[in-house]
Amino acid sequence: MENEFLDKVENNAVVRIWSKK
Q: Tens digits of per-residue pLDDT, 1-21?
A: 788 998 999 999 999 999 987
| Confidence at residue 13, expressed as pLDDT on a 0 to 100 scale | 95
Calpha distance 1→7 (Å, rounded)? 10
Q: Read off the DSSP letter of residue 12.
A: H
| Confidence at residue 10, expressed as pLDDT on a 0 to 100 scale | 94
**Cα 15 to the chain's mean position, in Å?**
6
Calpha distance 3→19 (Å, rounded)? 24
